[in-house]
Amino acid sequence: MPRARIMCSIFAISLAWTIGKRNRTIAPRQKNKIAFIAPLIAGLLLPVLWSSQNPPRNQKYQELAEKIRSAGLRHEKAFKLLEGLIKTSGPRLTGSPGAAAAVEFMRKHMQELGLEAWLEPVTVQHWVRGDTEEASIIQSSERSPYFLSVTALGWSIATPAPGISAQVVEAASFDELRRLGEKVKGKIVFFNKAMDRTYLDTFQAYGEAVPYRGRGAAEASKQGAVAVLVRSMTLRIDDDPHTGMVQYDPKVAKIPAAAISTLDADFLSDFLQKNDSVVINLKLSCRELPPVASANVVGEIQGTEWPNQIILLGGHLDSWDLATGAHDDGAGCVQAIEALRLIKESGLKPKRSIRAVLFMNEEFSVTGGRDYARSGRRKKEKHIAAIESDRGGFLPVGLSVGGSPETFLKLQGLQDLLKPPGIVWVRPGGGGADIGPLAGQGTVLMSLVPDSQRYFDVHHSAQDILASVNPRELELRAIIMAIVAYVLAEEGL
């Protein structure tokens, strides 16, 4: 399409130039006027031609988009499916019975919708939280013992049964940790890095704070720490601890790692200011069990002309265990399926295949995404585009797209179709953890981006429940997925 624009522009200039030239035979006064007006028109026309964002091929897509939007908003199908999933599976931690129930429920549901549906095997880790999670301040003049609101980080090792009792040292950054040097030895390091509230995009704040959850234990262990406590990754000041992965360094000893709520992080920080020596007893009974056979759940509408060319819509089916993962990423899964349902119900038969992939095990190292991309089945397929949704089922605002500048301009042309269901921007970017491994195969990666204000209120915590999802926001996401997927399935990229 950009080529078409270049051609148009060249045509406009040529036309103006030709008119100007031809009119040199006309009376001088008139000639001057035409010679002036013609290039003026070209000048006025050029930016219009260049700025007009690839209007959709024809009115057809506008009407279809409108039809899909009405059909979607009329009901709460995505929300009902999410409710069904949650009632069936409960929390869906990788390797858990809940995750296995979710696989079966979603496969069956896609079959009932009349989609081609199948499972693709994934072997997953099986970490369990265990019954004991406790962090108590056991020695202080003021309050003893005081129980902090705590939760183990995923993949943390357990403490010995009586717990680890050690003095706490606070560090707000890795620099501060290094400056503490020998003082860390034998201690529990408390990483109290708050997410920066001043960013509009809360993911930016998350990106800056999350290394303390991920690498904190490894860095502290290098200096001889015996455990770490991490301030929860949320902008709310409340009682809920937020879990997430810890990434151990194979070169240093693993030490237990847990998150405490933001209220308790503030309390502990104050308490450390007022007391010379604060000792905490940390008890965790989490452990890793043998790997488990699990699966990615796949469903699709087969393309009528090029069934082996795929438009993939993806989310991850596993969740954390503190809640039912309504936003993270139940939302991403149900909206991929709802997008297929909307396309099917609208009687559309796309030329290329549109596929929903519910990846297993995003939270523990993305093995589902990796195994999907590596699978032998992919050899006879070409994934044209993959759109991931893994930032919660909140109000959709943008489409972040990868690929070449030419691809970007083409996708930006979808903006007119996506405005009615609420998309306000299409920007370069794209990608996502689960679809990332497809990058090497020439797939254009995209991400459906919601407004980010509320996500970290619930992310990885006990608050990630159905009640925090708005049915209309969720449905709008499915509608947008359906429109983008259908146009790409028809037009290619």
Q: Which residues bind a second copy (CB under 8 A)?
A: 16-17, 20-21, 24, 32, 35-37, 39-48, 69-70, 73-76, 197-200, 202, 235-237, 395, 420-422, 424, 451, 453-454, 457, 470-473, 476
Q: Is 381 a catalytic residue?
A: no
CB contact at 8 A, 450 and 395? yes
With b meaning 16 or more CB within 10 Å and e meaning fewer, what string describes 102-128?
bbebbbebbeebebebebbebbbbbbe
Q: How far is the CB of 178 from a second copy (least distance, A)?
A: 27
Strands 116-128 and 287-301: antiparallel
CB-nearer residue toward a second copy: 81 or 298: 81
Q: How far is the CB of 123 from a second copy (least distance, A)?
A: 39
Selecting among 170, 338, 362, 473, the annotated active-site residue is 362
CB-nearer residue toward a second copy: 161 or 467: 467
Q: How far is the CB of 210 from a second copy (least distance, A)?
A: 19
CB-nearer residue toward a second copy: 10 or 289: 10
Q: How far is the CB of 36 from a second copy (least distance, A)?
A: 5
CB-nearer residue toward a second copy: 46 or 252: 46
Q: How far is the CB of 18 from a second copy (least distance, A)?
A: 11
CB-nearer residue toward a second copy: 76 or 116: 76
CB-nearer residue toward a second copy: 9 or 285: 9
CB under 8 Å, gap of 24 or more: what pairs does 179-188 form? 180/223, 181/223, 182/223, 182/224, 184/220, 184/223, 184/224, 184/225, 185/223, 185/224, 185/225, 186/224, 186/225, 186/226, 187/225, 187/226, 188/164, 188/225, 188/226, 188/227, 188/228, 188/229, 188/280, 188/282
CB-nearer residue toward a second copy: 170 or 473: 473
Strands 164-171 and 382-388: unpaired
Q: How far is the CB of 462 from a second copy (least distance, A)?
A: 15
CB contact at 8 A, 447 and 380? no
Q: How far is the CB of 472 from a second copy (least distance, A)?
A: 5
Catalytic residues: 362
